[in-house]
Amino acid sequence: MEKQTVLVLDFGGQYNQLIARRVREHNVYCEVKSYKTPIDEIRAIKPKGIIFTGGPKSVYLADSPRMDKEIFSLGVPILGICYGAQFMVYGLGGEIGAASDDAAAEFGRTDCEMKTDSPLFKGLKKKSVVWMSHNDYIKKLPAGFRSVAHSDKCPYGAIENADKKFYGTQFHPEVNHTEQGFDMLGNFLKNVCGCVGDWTMENYAATATRELKEKIGDGKALLALSGGVDSSVACKLLANAIGGQLTCIFVDHGLMRKNEGDEVEAAFADSGVNFVRVNAGKRFLGKLAGVADPERKRKIIGEEFIRVFEEEAKKIGKVDYLVQGTIYPDVIESGLGDAAVIKSHHNVGGLPGYVDFKEIIEPLRLLFKDEVRALGTALGLSDNLVWRQPFPGPGLAIRIIGDITPEKVAILQDADAIFREEIAAAKLDRSINQYFAVLTDMRSVGVMGDERTYDYTLALRGVSTTDFMTADFSRIPYDVLEKISTRIVNEVKHINRIVYDITSKPPATIEWE
């Protein structure tokens, strides 16, 4: 049976990837594509439905993102969200107005009343809170549309043309602040688009395995194995697909967590795959000497990884494919379409311009972190690997603020190990999705043994998240933080102050660099 696909067409809004998450939570496969995607390409995908995202522009301005109006002639159900709804109205002959005062603009939690005879709101409460964020407003509807929801300021809070299966919401159903938003999206997917919701990680594993076999054929593949969740799942997937044609190369760049290089080697010693460990710590630290800018660090590490892989590939004969455990948040933060580059991930935006392989394969490229874990479980990986703490490819290089030295690496390894030990001892290691220490470049005055010290400040970071696109700081109990602080200051030289990061994402990112 052909896979059912919903397309999320990106107009540059801040919640675009969250829409994809919500669709997948209904077990419906979706992909995010730019609004610039050619109509013929969209038609070839045969989507069951299309969702227009929000965006920061005004649709009536000359430089605003717009699609070919042929999109409305494909016979495919469409849901427009915020800017997406305004583009639908504008493109079909309606009018969009600019709020000259606060009479039409709405921001934040808003009471909204809905018509439950609309397929979009079937089975929902008539009144609930939604999340509004718009300066422009729908002034006049196109022919064939009616209003199916309104707020005090917005008579067209949601609109529909039931005959054409076109729907629009001025609010954002994808965010948690919209009380019934998840169910609204579910109604669109199932009641309007006819999606059956059969996309599971078991199905994904079977499909991906078959596609990898077909693509690689009799060729050889080299996997960049870090020992983290993503590359471990990619390893299992490739091993199932091509067996002995796969070689896993673990590059120990000298920036791993304490004892981690040995732990990774032990984990894959009896895995049945060809495993090669390359100790390249001196090489990487030499390249990074004196470099403080985080983007330069990432790009240096990205290029050096590739060069090491190329050298190792030559030792084992002709290798056609390089496989990476890249996941969707890596792609998004490295810049997708017109989206801003938040930071270049070493395996995406940090790649050099020339790579000496036939092709780079990224079998997890369209999966979020929780989906990767679910895939790992479906593939039979052990909990120790599936639930391993996330660790960035550049390693401690982006958890040391400023220039990197062997001494700083050793300090951070020891401090981070204590942090992780105490979190595990407090049985918080499953409830905190990611936690780690950061060695800042700030020094401060302290006193130890009646003597003045002038040493580093260490920052601790812990977050709760499901998709790693948004995150809340974790509320670690004070007594646990106190024990961690006491141990680190007493056991690790050159640290005399501990701080805890209480910033969520956004506005911060999870990592500091």
Catalytic residues: 82, 172, 174
Beta strands in 406-494 (DSSP E): 434-448, 451-464, 472-473
Q: How far apart are CA 16 and CA 9, in angstroms?
A: 8
Is the separation of the CB atoms in 463 and 510 below 8 Å?
yes
Beta strands in 122-180 (DSSP E): 127-134, 136-140, 146-150, 158-161, 166-169
Record the tokens describing residue 178, joined without a space. Answer: 């919209």
Amino acid identity of residue 347, one-letter, is N
> Tokens 């100790």 map to which residue?
279
Amino acid identity of residue 439, one-letter, is L
DSSP class of residue 123 equals T
In three-state secondary structure terms, 78 is: strand
The full DSSP string for 391-406 is --TTGGGGSB-SS--H
Is the separation of the CB atoms in 212 and 238 below 8 Å?
yes
Q: How far apart are CA 165 and CA 221, in angstroms?
A: 45
DSSP class of residue 187 equals H
Length of the chain as a residue count? 513
Enumerate the β-bridge partners of residue 471. Answer: 505
